[in-house]
A = this chain, B = another copy of it.
């Protein structure tokens, strides 16, 4: 049974707090294992990659030339894909590209009242590594969502790593990579792939930043190489929060809640409504949908273990709860969703109105589906074009403007005991 909370009940605060602090991540101690693998890849390069790939992916590569996926393999994969699905992938890619192109930031340069020229400019991260999980749960949509912003930003070299356990790869993943202009693809995964991207090997030149989801070992390895390269967010299990009034079709809302639940037994789906009868109808519709889903077992486990229904007196009470949950995905299934959204501060993405199911954002709406989980929307954003550019500050003074603002710099440098700082300014003032 999912958790039932009612904001009018005694004990609501405590129960809601317990919901917020619920731990859904696996807590295995993987850091040591990942650290050892990273050290080994750094030391032994390609040889370590071949060993780990044999060990973890049960894939024997006869020599290092087999690490890279060939152009012929990619072409064959594309040919083997279903035409309708490929067409849908192209629709998605075009829409994602359009959205992310609008995120490209602008340079700025201006002269201020002291005569100082100031500004900044943006440049692309040149070498980007993209981790794609392997096996049956590989998602071509994730390839698009990670690769397209990098390409839009201007990355010169986009390197994909994807493990192929027992040699198996979803051809749609290769087709998606091809569509996005991925430059190199290697059949490796795990902490060893992260190490290869961060440190480089004989075959794989290192990258500047690594993005993309992965299991606990991949997440740990990414965290450990942070600093040597940039990384994206460490993603936790997926979540959806639906705020819905009683005017929705319960079957629609039930499908939305299940669309996160089916991802993972530790995914979380929460419904906030002001209509207790509607909530019951949604629960019934969930049971009914579950009878026909091929991932019913996963979805059921998630809904029963981590699902929650919160009844509020008035939907105006929802925003403060939403902000505390800081959900990855937020649906506002009400007549005037903009008004409700204006009172909410923390959410990865907001789906406005009754015809904006979260799944549309997973594939074709255009915004990125890589979004902050586990309450991290309080301080972080979804993946965007901005994650693949960096900013250089620019400043230019002349003798006059240095005379105007230099003395303050000298005073501060002297107060901090940094003589050479002071000298480098004062020597130009004389």
Stretch among A59-67, A71-79, A187-195, A254-262 lining the B interface:
A254-262
Contact across chains for B364 and A262 when beta carbons are under 8 A apart: no
Contact across chains for A85 and B351 when beta carbons are under 8 A apart: no
In the assembled complex, the Cα of A332 lies from the Cα of B8 at a distance in Å of 65
Contact across chains for B117 and A392 when beta carbons are under 8 A apart: no
Given contacts A408-B91, A422-B359, contact A398 B345 (CB under 8 A): no
- Set of chain B residues within 8 Å of A230, measured between Cβ atoms: 376, 379-380
Given contacts A140-B412, A350-B393, A394-B350, contact A425 B378 (CB under 8 A): no
Q: Is A390 an interface residue (CB 8 A)?
A: yes
Q: Is A424 an interface residue (CB 8 A)?
A: yes
Q: Is A402 an interface residue (CB 8 A)?
A: yes
Q: Is A30 an interface residue (CB 8 A)?
A: no
Number of interface residues of A (CB under 8 A): 127
Contact across chains for B365 and A118 when beta carbons are under 8 A apart: yes
Contact across chains for A259 and B421 when beta carbons are under 8 A apart: yes
Interface residue from B99, B258, B353 paired with A118 (Cβ < 8 Å): B99
Within 8 A of B (CB), among A415-430: 415-425, 427-428
Given contacts A352-B394, A356-B395, contact A208 B295 (CB under 8 A): no
Q: Is A294 an interface residue (CB 8 A)?
A: yes
Given contacts A123-B345, A397-B355, contact A363 B82 (CB under 8 A): no
Interface residue from B252, B384, B414, B423 paired with A289 (Cβ < 8 Å): B423
Interface residue from B262, B376, B386, B412 paired with A419 (Cβ < 8 Å): B262
- Set of chain B residues within 8 Å of A408, measured between Cβ atoms: 87-88, 91-92, 363-364
- Set of chain B residues within 8 Å of A262, measured between Cβ atoms: 418-421
Main secondary structure of the interface of A (DSSP, over half): mixed
In the assembled complex, the Cα of A89 lies from the Cα of B397 at a distance in Å of 20
Mask: chain A, 361-383; 1 = CB below 8 Å from B; 0 = not: 11111111001101011111110
Interface residue from B226, B351, B379, B402 paired with A395 (Cβ < 8 Å): B351
Contact across chains for B255 and A424 when beta carbons are under 8 A apart: yes
Contact across chains for A357 and B405 when beta carbons are under 8 A apart: no
Contact across chains for A390 and B380 when beta carbons are under 8 A apart: yes
Scoring A87, A355, A406, A407 by chain B CB atoms within 10 A of each residue's CB, the highest score goes to A355
Min C-beta distance of A418 to chain B, whole Å: 6
Within 8 A of B (CB), among A122-175: 123-126, 136, 139-141, 172
Interface residue from B89, B112, B361, B415 paired with A85 (Cβ < 8 Å): B415
Contact across chains for B123 and A420 when beta carbons are under 8 A apart: no
Min C-beta distance of A158 to chain B, whole Å: 14
Given contacts A125-B379, A345-B123, A359-B413, contact A420 B92 (CB under 8 A): no
> In the assembly, how many copies of this chain are there?
2
Contact across chains for B125 and A412 when beta carbons are under 8 A apart: no
Contact across chains for B99 and A363 when beta carbons are under 8 A apart: no
- Set of chain B residues within 8 Å of A353, measured between Cβ atoms: 396-398
- Set of chain B residues within 8 Å of A380, measured between Cβ atoms: 230, 390
Top 7 A-B pairs ranked by shortest CB distance?
Answer: A230-B379, A352-B396, A367-B393, A88-B411, A349-B393, A258-B420, A255-B424
| Further contacts, 16 of them, CB under 8 A, given A85-B414, A117-B352, A123-B345 | A88-B407, A88-B408, A118-B366, A118-B367, A120-B367, A125-B378, A259-B424, A289-B423, A348-B393, A349-B392, A356-B395, A359-B420, A359-B422, A360-B402, A362-B413, A363-B421
Give 30 A-B contacts (CB < 8 Å), ordered by A residue: A87-B408, A87-B411, A88-B408, A91-B408, A98-B112, A139-B416, A140-B415, A140-B416, A141-B412, A223-B226, A226-B226, A252-B424, A256-B424, A258-B420, A263-B418, A350-B394, A351-B395, A352-B396, A355-B398, A356-B396, A359-B413, A360-B409, A361-B395, A363-B409, A363-B412, A364-B406, A365-B405, A367-B395, A379-B390, A380-B390
